[in-house]
Amino acid sequence: MAPFELCSNCNRSLNKVHRYFIEKVFKQNSILNKSEIIYEYAICEPCTQNISGDISSESKNAIQSLYELHSEYLFRKLDYLHRTEKYNIESWIDRCSLTGKETRLCSEYAVSGIIEDNKLVFELSPLVVSDGFMEKLQSVLSTETKEILDDLKDQIMGDSPAVEDFIFSPTSGLI
Smallest distance from Zn ion to CB 123, Å: 22
Say if residues 169 and 137 touch (Cβ distance below 8 Å). yes
Cα separation, 89 vs 62, whole angstroms: 29
List 3, 10, 69, 150, residue binding Zn ion (CB under 5 A): 10
Nearer to Zn ion, 12 or 70 (CB): 12
In the DSSP assignment, the letter for residue 102 is B
Q: Does 9 help bind Zn ion (rule: CB under 5 A)?
A: yes
Q: Does 162 help bind Zn ion (rule: CB under 5 A)?
A: no
Amino acid at 165: D
Q: Does 152 help bind Zn ion (rule: CB under 5 A)?
A: no
Q: Does 22 help bind Zn ion (rule: CB under 5 A)?
A: no
List 42, 44, 128, 148, residue binding Zn ion (CB under 5 A): 44
Binding pattern to Zn ion, positions 115-134, x when CB under 5 A? --------------------
Calculate the CA 148 to chain-centre distance.
16
CA distances from 59 to 32, 141, 171 (A): 38, 6, 14
Which stretches within the chain are classed as H helix?
A: 45-54, 57-69, 71-83, 89-92, 131-140, 143-157
Nearer to Zn ion, 10 or 175 (CB): 10
Question: Which residues of this protein are in contact with Zn ion, per CB under 5 A?
Answer: 7, 9-10, 12, 44, 47
